[in-house]
Amino acid sequence: MSKSFMGRGSGILAVGLFCHLMHITRTEEREARALVKAVHAMKMVWWKLSECGQVEGACEDAMAQLPSGLERWAMLHALGEEHERMSWREGAWSSYHGRKAFCYYLESAQSPAHAGMSDESFLRIFGRALRVAGSSRNMAMAGDVAGEGGGALSRGGGESAETLQGKQCNATLVEHERWRERREAVRRFALNSVFHPWHWRKHLPNHGAQSRAEGPEGGSEELYRHAQVQDVLVRVMEKFWVEFSPWEAGRYVLAGEGEDLLTVFSAVEAWRGRRDRAHRGVDGRWWDRLLRGCAVDGPSSPCPEGQYEMVEKELDGMKVLANARHLQLNAHMNPYKDLSSTGAPQDTLPIWLRACRRTFPLSLVLQRLRSVWRIRTAVLIVTVDRDMVEGVLRELSAVDFMHVRVYFHPFTETRASLGFHGWDTGVHRLNAHYVFGLRLSLVSCPFDYVITLEDDLLPSPDFLVYHQDMRKVATSDPNILSILAYPNGPVHDCSYIKDKLLNRSVCQAGSADMLYNDRFFAGWGAGLSRLSFLRFLPVWNFSGIYDGIMNGLIDHELHCLAPCRPRVRLHANVGLHGESEARWDDVFKVDEETRPEMLADTYKILNHYKGLEYSFKGRSSSGIYGRRVRGDRRGTAVARHAEQVEVWELLQRRSAARRILLDNLCNGSHLRSLFAAAILGSTSPSTEPPPFVVWSSDFHVGPIADLKDIWQDLRVRGRRVTVIDKSLSGSCSSQGTCAQGLRVVNGSNGQDLGPSPSSLIQQFVSEYSDDPLMDKVDAFVCNHPPGMCELFQPLNKSVIVHASTRYEMGRCFSDARPQGCSDDPARWKEWNQKVSQLMSSRKDFVSANNRYDARYMQFFLGRTVETIPSLCDKRLSWFPRRSEILLSMPQAVEQALTPPLLQALQRRGLDKTLKFVHIRRLYRRYEHADLAQHPAIVWVPYQVSVMSFFEQYRMNIPILVPSLQLMADWIVLYGMMPQRTWAGVFGQCPVGSSIPPHPSESSVPDPNDDSNMTAVKFWLQFADFYSFPHVLQWSSFDELVDLASDSDRLFRASQGAREFNLDQGREVRGKWKSVFESILTR
């Protein structure tokens, strides 16, 4: 059977590619063709769709270009891939676009068209999509896994729902039982505290003879239910916790007074820039010391360079003074600004956000708060722990959508005020911060209920509305310890997970109106009443972290209410069930899109405990009350571990304007409009902080163009990344980036910095030290040559070395020294010292865009170098419509290889049907879309890493290269791949490096010795062609012909490359985001 490629004309897949498959079924052949066609269609309309909104009629023109006859399941799969790409910008699988991808992948896999496929064929096409969506073929085809609002998506792969539930149930029960056994110890510990009501019962009139008869252990709960216990305990707390910072926070909140955060930053910048100490009445010098203060005896020691070193007690003294200034932001948005000091706007609640130095994922939390419904009616109270607080405050300064109050946690002051001095453990610090923030929100400020949030919790759009609705419940019922925002605990993990996964639970992931009760506290996003804080205060320093201690407070009546649908998502955290981005429940998330719609007026509580009742009729003006639902079938449907589960209703009279309904996430109708929506993505906020500016002056347009494409999607602490591209490349005119107005350095001296590098560097620094454009620059990036960063190091800004070639470019061989530097390697050694300094600096970063150059730098520097590959995403995908196999190699190599290649074709009988042609013979000038139309490209590389390889690989084109052994033979025998070494580039014989390796690399063979077969083979393994997966290797010309004519192998290579590219795209963007976050933090 022939497997040759025969073109059938424009728009039609090559006959040989899919019609003569030897190893896949006819069904798989048809579906593989449909999928490749749909992915290609998505890419082909990308550019037109990107113009929608700017060019009249562009959307209609673009959608008209979609081929007819696209199968629905293939379009859904292509939509899933595009949404997955969009999710890279959002940084998490559980983002809006990530969850869209899950839905479309699963809906695509559920098509009846796949019913006849074998498991092997099905998984070959859909395996990765199902792994991403956490489903097996049986679950997907049975329709057991649906999107949000129906079932849930499990990241558990082939594990059954019952196995997943059992695993999480066991983990939760271990934690639950541990604290249940310690509850008696917690109660005894509380009784010894001065803050326990038993010691002040005489101030509680008519507290009952029963409690006196029962003694302290039996009567404690009765005391906590006393109507006046809160007033008494607040007075006790103020008496015995006297030194509390800040004083009178509530008065400042109500009056809308305090120091403006933006004014403080203006004063700090004035001090740093002009030594103007008193700017607009603010002491910039003092605030600068606080912002950059580092405690030498604190958790951050040793302190980084550029910080003010001090002991933590001194720093905490400054925090106390700062708290007395009552920092605020957006005073005009204070909900109390138009009210008297005794009034309060309805439903105003505090959101207490705990922060501690890290700016990421804090930036994501603030971004999500922007989209929380009715957020303007809340007050954001931020308490900042530890030292070096500037990064956190910079993030907060970008908040422009709500009123913000900022206070600092003075840890040594808190522990001393509460009677402790000598200890400092992570747990005690967390607990002290917790009790500090609760007192601030619930006692110092005029609130009886606080919503807690952390710097790694992403709130849902109805996060605030949910807590506003449940506030009266929590403050009216002393049996409720907390209103949870995250479903966790024995009831949920042992009763509901399996049914959620199988889409048959009453407690659905999308059940916005359903709660359940549990004797388990999960603090993520929880709401707490003032009474709950007063319960916690006597045991705050019990052995264990605060959420565990809360579980120790729970008894047969005291419990929590938790939602079936989470109101927060954990970002990059490690909790009871492992890493948040890889747990079974990662996709039980609320949709990010909300709109004011009708939602039922009733919250329902699944009551698992006999004797508990929810009756609040007449207790509040808002009309909340509870009633038991008689004969509710849903109650018994979830009775997995109890004889009967009651259902209670909490009715609330509220206006329709406060009700929301989340859109169905997996709506797969109107596919053509969905194509446009997926590609266009979401819009950015209209107001943004200043960008993070990077300067580049490269001699190669490819690497920096790729970085600009990657970085344009990033938001670093809310800031866009922009590039000032002053290119010195000979191809810069093609990109419109030629250096205009660049002074001192030019195309002649830029690579090696001329005959006197130190003088040139000094001249450059002098010229640009007061340059207005340079003042805006935050960092420099150097790709080609990496050594150009020598120019920028003295400017005291961040430097990013991202090598795209051997890092000593211009430091040994150059146009001025074509003979190399074996006689005087001083320049190379000097550059090594500077690179080592950059690698040791906290504000700089050294990396390479390929594994070879990363390993090469390690050989000479003795330190591991990060590899962040180029993406070169051309928004195109392989779609073979032509028959020619392309050759990519120097034309002299082509001439030498043509005779044996023709002989191999004749031996296989394919010399009339299979044609190999050099790219430059077929196209004098080609577009990338031209290359994507060919079945494969054969490479004989001249270099270990080139941008054109990245471009072709990212288009999913099958690539065929000589095997590593064959390539090594050709290098040693014939001098192939001449540009692997600088000696080869300049026509020298590469027989060794001019400097020795780092002592730790003495056993590794020399990378610059082309005469040593062992060395060549060792180093070739790091070349792109041999380190990227799904690149096909051939050891003979007969094998090359066999591979080129085997459409099955080519399809699998393209499929594998496409899936690898989807994974690596997310990884690369994540790495760059981490780099910039790290630079900004330092």
Cα Rg of the chain, angstroms: 33
Q: What is the DSSP letter of 647?
A: E
Q: pLDDT at position 485, please?
A: 94
Position 806 pLDDT exceeds 70: yes
pLDDT category, 339, cuts 50, 70, 90? Answer: low
- What's the burial of 227, exposed, middle or buried (CB within 10 Å: 0-12/13-18/19+)? exposed
Cα distance from N-terminal residue to C-terminal residue, the chain:
64
State how far the Cα of 439 lies from the Cα of 240, in Å rounded to an integer.
13
Query: What pLDDT is stored for residue 644 in this prediction?
Result: 53
In whole angstroms, give the CA distance from residue 650 to residue 103. 33
501-560 residue pLDDT tens: 766 667 877 677 889 999 999 999 999 999 999 999 999 989 889 999 999 999 888 999
Taken in order 969, 971, 975, 977, is the CA torsion positive or negative?
Answer: positive
Q: Which two tokens stand for residue 157?
A: 């792969």
Q: Which residue has the tokens 């507290």?
A: 207
Flag whether pLDDT at 389 surpasses 50. yes
Q: By CB neighbour count within 10 A (0-12 exposed, 13-18 middle, 19+ buried), where does 709 fall? A: middle
Of the spans 151-165, 584-598, 1042-1056, which averages the highest pLDDT?
1042-1056
Residue 843: predicted pLDDT: 92
For range 186-201, the mean pLDDT: 92
* Residue 690 or residue 444, greater confidence: 444
Which of the four pLDDT bands, split at 50, 70 and 90, describes residue 139?
very low
Q: Which two tokens stand for residue 132?
A: 């991403």
* Domains within the chain, CATH numbers bracketed: 15-147 (no CATH), 183-240 (no CATH), 249-258+292-570+590-658 (3.90.550.10), 692-841 (no CATH), 885-1067 (no CATH)
Looking at per-residue pLDDT, the higher value among 339 and 106 belongs to 106
Could you give the CA distance from residue 968 to residue 1010 in angstroms, rounded to a whole number? 9
pLDDT, position 482: 97
Q: Cα(780)–Cα(797) distance, rounded to whole angstroms?
A: 8
Tokens of 981: 């070494």
- Kindly indicate the confidence band of residue 210, based on its pLDDT and cuts at 50, 70 and 90: very low
Mean of per-residue pLDDT scores for the chain = 82
| Interval 1019-1041 mean pLDDT | 98
Per the DSSP assignment, residues forming a β-bridge with 569 are 458
C-alpha to C-alpha distance for 77 and 1041, rounded to whole angstroms: 32
pLDDT of residue 45: 60
Q: What is the DSSP string of 105-166?
A: HHHHHT-GGGTTS-HHHHHHHHHHHHHHHT--HHHHHHT----TTS----SSTT--HHHHHH
> How much is the pLDDT for 54?
41
Residue 719: in which H helix or E strand, if any? strand 719-725
pLDDT digits (tens, 9 = 90+) for 566-587: 899 887 554 444 444 444 454 4
Phi then psi dihedrals of residue 313, to 5 deg:
-65, -40
Q: How far apart are CA 149 and CA 165, in angstroms?
A: 20
Which pLDDT score is estimated for 1058? Answer: 92
Quote the CA–CA distance of 1081 and 1079 in Å, as a whole number: 5
Would you state the pLDDT for residue 690?
A: 86
| DSSP-assigned states of every residue in 726-768 | -B--TTHHHHT-B-SS--S--TTTTTT--S-HHHHHHHHHHHH
Residue 622 has pLDDT above 50, yes or no: no
pLDDT higher than threshold 60 for residue 661: no
Q: Which residues of 863-878 are buried (b: 16+ CB within 10 A; e: fewer)?
A: eebebbbbbbbbbbbb
CA distances for 920 relative to 101, 901, 926, 932, 956, angstroms: 39, 18, 8, 15, 21
Q: What is the pLDDT of residue 84?
A: 83
Among 73-87, 461-475, 570-584, 1032-1046, which is the least confidently predicted range?
A: 570-584
Q: Cα 635 to the chain's mean position, in Å? A: 39
Amino acid sitting at position 222: E
3-state secondary structure of 649: strand
| pLDDT for residue 315 is more than 80 | yes
Q: How would residue 130 be classed by pLDDT, with cut points 50, 70 and 90?
A: confident
pLDDT at 864: 96
- The H or E element spanning position 486 is none
Give φ, ψ of 310 to 5 degrees. Answer: -160, 165
299, 427 Cβ separation under 8 angstroms: no
Q: Confidence class of residue 421 from pLDDT cuts 50, 70 and 90?
A: low
Cβ contact 286:369 at 8 Å? no
81-90, 358-367, 849-858, range with greatest mean pLDDT = 849-858
Contact call for residues 793 and 729 (beta carbons, < 8 A):
no
Q: What is the pLDDT of residue 276?
A: 67
Specify the range with the lowest mean pLDDT, choosing from 115-124, 511-520, 725-734, 926-935.
115-124
Helix, strand, coil % in the chain, rounded to nearest 5: 45, 10, 45
Residue 60 above 60 pLDDT? no
Contact in structure between 451 and 352 (CB atoms under 8 Å): yes
Burial class (CB in 10 A: 0-12, 13-18, 19+), 636: middle
Distinct helix (H) and strand (E) counts, the chain: 43, 32
Q: Distance between CA 247 and CA 258 in Å, rounded?
A: 12
Any idea which of 667-681, 688-702, 775-789, 849-863 has the lowest mean pLDDT? Answer: 667-681
d(CA 960, CA 937) in angstroms, rounded, equals 6
Average pLDDT over residues 14-33: 46
